Structure 1
Amino acid sequence: MRVVIQRVTQAAVEVEENVKGQIGLGLLLLAGFTAEDTEEDLKWMAAKVAALRIFSDADGKMNLSVQEVQGDVLVISQFTLYASTKKGNRPSYVNAAPPAVSVPLYERFVTLLEQALGKPVQTGEFGADMKVSLLNDGPVTIVMDTKQKDLF
């Protein structure tokens, strides 16, 4: 599982010109999955995201989690996080899990994240053509991958 985390002051996702999800202060997560992802991967990522201290405290230091600032989370599925550009100029997505595998992983990750945060999480619509807007705060953007836990 690979996630791009963006600290935002606002974010929204539209599907067919209708707002599907939106948040104010919080985190926008772009989440991609492989067929090898496990329940342990999902739990690790949900716990890590919920506890990640990337919001400023009273001294201006990144020392607070999204929970501590009472922020919200918007999760968008994004298979293109597993794009391979090794050969040629057209990306290959063979490393991304097919929908039959990734939809349950995505839904389970959202549930685990809601449990870790103790509140509902906003989402996009899996497989839809989505328009995502955000105002990145900082900017703060972090990439995490469950297959490289030692780096995070």
Structure 2
Amino acid sequence: MALDPSPLDRAVRAARADEPEGWVDLAESIMSRVRRVVVPSEPILTFTAQGASSRDTEGSETFVSARVVTAALRRLLQEHPTHAPETIDLHVDDSRLTGVDIRLVARFGVELHPLADTLRPQIYAILRDLLGPAPGVDPSMIEIEYVDVTRGDPNKT
């Protein structure tokens, strides 16, 4: 004895069987709006533990969205009340990360050079975790610039 499909299954079948008039135009309108809101993100090539970009004999490669890398760096840079990121710019050339420029706001009284010296290896560790040991990527390609100093926690201003 066959059971009646669930209400959801019946609704899905009915919706697929009866395409409303103008649906194609409406769907295209919605998708064009989504494309305007969501900014495309550059793919960044990842590397194996041996430093190779190929993952198999067929040359398959894996990429991470620049948006993911930027978000991870932003989380790191917002952990402490001594500094906050104003901007994080990733430089990508031919899908390879070639540089990172970070503009920071620091709290008044913080020693700026030691802070940068502390942050640079932490930033590099995140890059290495996300991208693997990418050739040419090292702490020296991370530029940190202070653009403002503020009283209190710069993450809250």
TM (norm. structure 2) is 0.28
Greater RCO structure (CA 8 Å; 6+ sep): 1
Q: Which has the higher helix share?
A: 2
Q: Which has the larger radius of gyration?
A: 2
Q: Which has the higher strand share?
A: 1
TM (norm. structure 1) is 0.29
